[in-house]
Amino acid sequence: MRASLLRVPAALLAATLAAWYMMSIKREMQRICESNVAGSQEILNRLQKVQSHVSYLVKSMNVVDHGEGQPERDVEVKMEKKVAKKLYPNSALFRNWGDQLSEEEQKEAEAMFQRYGYNAFLSDRLPLNREIPDTRDKRCLERKYPEDLPTISVVLIYLDEALSVIKRAIRSIIDKTPAHLLKDIILVDDNSSHEDLKDKLDAYISFIHEERPGLVKRVRHREQMGLTQARISGWEAATGDVVAILDAHIEVHVGWAEPLLARIKADRTVVVSPVFDKVNFDDLTVTQYFSSAHGFDWGLWCLYEGFRPEWYKLNDESQPGKSPSIMGILVADRNFFGEVGVLDSGMKIYGGENVELGVRVWLCGGSIEIVPCSRIAHIERSHKPYLPDLSITMKRNALRVAEVWMDEYKHNVNIAWNLPIKDHGIDIGDVSERKKLREKLKCKPFKWYLDNVYPQLDTWDDLVAYGALVNNLTADACVDQGPVPGNVPVLYGCHFFSTQSCYYHTNGQIYIGGIKSHKYSDNRCLVDPGTGSTPGLYECKEAKEKGFHMHWDFKQGRAIKNRDTGRCLEIAKEGLTYYQLIIQKCSGQGWRIQHVIKDF
């Protein structure tokens, strides 16, 4: 597709963007960083090799209900009726689910889906103690654990979660944790507004207390404090030897607690995470996830990461593996967690707090492990019903983590967010307490972490400039990676999303369309094909192997000139108003790149 839309106001531009374009931008904006991680689809696909997709047809459910008197039965009968008309053909909820629903049921289910981001309609109709497949490695079943394990407090954090989902989380924790180990369950409500989370949840707790007096405690926030503060308040209320901080849209698997508690009993400085299996947001079936470590990129978005080679050499999927970071769900010795600084209470709302914890624990005398024999089924919401754009707090929190912990590498966070190194203008709050904590605990330098814990992270040492690349003949058009898949960079109205992020490297390479944070990923390099006028964009490794002309001389405000061919990256008018990106004999055009790291 031709893409040189100049002089179009930003709003209009957004409306005219082609589908390929919106997709890449949307993907960028929707990345979220929590226990589920909608990181890169690529990575998820890589990890989803093992898929045990079990179908839960409501009518074939054969599980004893716990007698909470749910009025489900007539609905199940209704659901067997055939209905023809689909009211919401474009809703993600009905893509693979709900063919049997009447129009009225579809309306109700869709409304609940919009409200919660998952199929709360179906959740209300499944038994609280439903069976979920045992996704553990067989070797886990043979493990023996000491009798005298530490006790555990389970903290569930929620904001306007569906009542039946919270009840099912509680039910699973009670049913699947040995009674003598389960000290309490702490419900932290981050100022939910839904009425049913008041009296109806209280009624359920009273029902639980007939069986287990005083087991469930409630912490209610009268204003929304955000995930980090909510987690801290849950930890404060906990009394067990170990505290597990979980989302409320989970179900624990059988035997989930013992392997975690055994690890912490053996070493109280290990902060552990179970493996989360995915509960589909539509049919609520469970998909097994491969065990993997948790990492992050320089934007501090979390992602799944391979374990270190030593773990793979063990050839035993039931073994705990060290991990650079931890996603949303964490389990720690309650006192150790306090000594190491709990969580950074200066974090706002959401994002980055898990990376902060991971880095801090490693640098200040502890470590992080993923324990594959412990598994938790976690609903991956299709959308978050609140806070549509998380990137604002994510960015701020990430800069805060960088300032406290990342030493000479902290600017990589600015680069990842395409912010200037100096004067980014974002208020990160007061970090003096956290810096004091770092001193008090005598934590190691960040370089130690890069060398020893997360060597896969690329340190971007040889970048000299980054950001949008603009020709001096036009002010509002930026170099852009162009259609994907495809190998032709284009000129496009500037919007400054990552498809327009360019990077100039001391070795003369120019990356277009973002930069990868990990050494195992490749960037895409601008090349001069040698003939014709169309520039090319190829993975740098491929470009090098094929001998493409990929090194450029460039100084701020001057020409971008290929070192091999002597030709320049330039723009040329196409028709009366539009410019396009071409390669031709140098005619004296100049380019400016948005941010400079060092003079070049």
Chain residues in the site for Mn ion (CB under 5 A): 34-35, 247
Report the first-to-last Cα separation within the chain, whole angstroms: 34
Q: Which is nearer to Mn ion, 35 or 318 (CB)?
A: 35
Distance, CA of 25 to CA of 54 (rounded, Å) = 33
Stretch (H or E) spanning 368: strand 367-379
Indicate which of Mn ion, ligand NAG, none lies near residue 210 (CB less than 5 to 8 Å, by partner kind). Answer: none
| In the complex, residue closest to Mn ion by CB | 247
Q: How far is the CB of 557 from ligand NAG (least distance, A)?
A: 5
Indicate which of Mn ion, ligand NAG, none lies near residue 9 (CB less than 5 to 8 Å, by partner kind). Answer: none
**Interacting span for ligand NAG (CB under 6 A) from 105-113, 255-263, 480-488, 583-591:** 583-591
Q: How far is the CB of 427 from Mn ion (least distance, A)?
A: 28
Angstrom distances, CA of residue 48 to CA of 197, 263, 290, 304: 34, 26, 6, 11
Q: Which is nearer to Mn ion, 34 or 353 (CB)?
A: 34
Indicate which of Mn ion, ligand NAG, none lies near residue 461 (CB less than 5 to 8 Å, by partner kind). Answer: none
Of 303, 329, 276, nearest to 33 by C-alpha is: 303
The residue within the footprint of ligand NAG, chosen from 387, 424, 590, 596 (CB under 6 A), is 590
Q: How far is the CB of 524 from ligand NAG (least distance, A)?
A: 26
Q: Which is nearer to Mn ion, 247 or 282 (CB)?
A: 247
Q: Under the criterion CB under 6 A, does residue 193 sit at the interface with ligand NAG?
A: yes
User: Which residue stretches of 131-256 are H helix?
Assistant: 138-142, 163-176, 199-211, 226-237
Total residue count of the chain as it appears in this document: 600
Q: Which is nearer to ligand NAG, 349 or 537 (CB)?
A: 349
Q: Which is nearer to ligand NAG, 253 or 567 (CB)?
A: 567
Indicate which of ligand NAG, Mn ion, none lies near residue 35 (CB less than 5 to 8 Å, by partner kind). Answer: Mn ion
Please state, as a whole number, how many other Cβ atoms lie within 10 Å of the Cβ of residue 81.
10
Distance, CA of 110 to CA of 120 (rounded, Å) = 9
Indicate which of ligand NAG, Mn ion, none lies near residue 223 (CB less than 5 to 8 Å, by partner kind). Answer: ligand NAG
Q: Which is nearer to ligand NAG, 518 or 558 (CB)?
A: 558
Q: Which is nearer to ligand NAG, 97 or 350 (CB)?
A: 350
Indicate which of ligand NAG, Mn ion, none lies near residue 193 (CB less than 5 to 8 Å, by partner kind). Answer: ligand NAG
Cβ-contact 166, 156 below 8 angstroms: yes
Cβ-contact 593, 560 below 8 angstroms: no
Q: Which is nearer to ligand NAG, 197 or 416 (CB)?
A: 197
User: CA 412, 414, 418, 422 torsion: positive or negative?
Assistant: negative
Angle between helices 199-211 and 163-176 (to 10 degrees): 10
Cβ-contact 378, 287 below 8 angstroms: no
Cβ-contact 257, 150 below 8 angstroms: no
Q: Under the criterion CB under 6 A, does residue 444 sit at the interface with ligand NAG?
A: no
Q: Which of residues 220-249 bind ligand NAG (CB under 6 A)?
A: 223-224
Q: How far is the CB of 221 from ligand NAG (least distance, A)?
A: 8
Render the burial of 267-303: b for 16+ CB within 10 Å, e for the rest: ebebbbbbbbbbbbbbbbbbbbbebbbbbbbbbbbbb
Q: Under the criterion CB under 6 A, does residue 588 sit at the interface with ligand NAG?
A: yes
Q: Which is nearer to Mn ion, 247 or 344 (CB)?
A: 247
Please state, as a whole number, how many other Cβ atoms lie within 10 Å of the Cβ of residue 501.
25
Distance, CA of 376 to CA of 300 (rounded, Å) = 24
Q: Which is nearer to ligand NAG, 571 or 597 (CB)?
A: 571
The tokens for 80 are 């067997």
Please state, as a whole number, how many other Cβ atoms lie within 10 Å of the Cβ of residue 562.
22
Q: Which of residues 446-475 bind ligand NAG (CB under 6 A)?
A: 472
Site string for ligand NAG, 520-539 (x = CB under 6 A): --------------------
Q: How many residues bind ligand NAG (CB under 6 A)?
A: 11
Q: How far is the CB of 36 from Mn ion (least distance, A)?
A: 5
Distance, CA of 526 to CA of 548 (rounded, Å) = 9
Q: How far is the CB of 545 from ligand NAG (least distance, A)?
A: 33
The residue within the footprint of ligand NAG, chosen from 52, 191, 506, 507 (CB under 6 A), is 191
Q: How far is the CB of 586 from ligand NAG (least distance, A)?
A: 10
Q: How far is the CB of 191 from ligand NAG (least distance, A)?
A: 4
Please state, as a whole number, how many other Cβ atoms lie within 10 Å of the Cβ of residue 231.
27
Q: Which is nearer to ligand NAG, 325 or 471 (CB)?
A: 471
Q: Which is nearer to Mn ion, 34 or 317 (CB)?
A: 34
Q: Which is nearer to Mn ion, 174 or 376 (CB)?
A: 376
What phi-psi label fits residue 194: left (phi over 0), alpha (psi between -120 and 50 degrees) or beta? beta
Radius of gyration of the chain (CA): 26
Q: Which of residues 49-78 bind ligand NAG (CB under 6 A)?
A: none
Distance, CA of 564 to CA of 571 (rounded, Å) = 20
Q: Which of residues 543-582 bind ligand NAG (CB under 6 A)?
A: 557-559
Indicate which of ligand NAG, Mn ion, none lies near residue 45 (CB less than 5 to 8 Å, by partner kind). Answer: none
Distance, CA of 546 to CA of 530 (rounded, Å) = 13
The one-letter amino acid code at 122 reads: L
User: CA 550, 554, 556, 559 torsion: positive or negative?
Assistant: negative
Distance, CA of 123 to CA of 164 (rounded, Å) = 6
Indicate which of ligand NAG, Mn ion, none lies near residue 241 (CB less than 5 to 8 Å, by partner kind). Answer: none
Indicate which of ligand NAG, Mn ion, none lies near residue 142 (CB less than 5 to 8 Å, by partner kind). Answer: none
Which residue ranges make up the site for ligand NAG (CB under 6 A)?
Answer: 191, 193, 223-224, 472, 557-559, 588-590
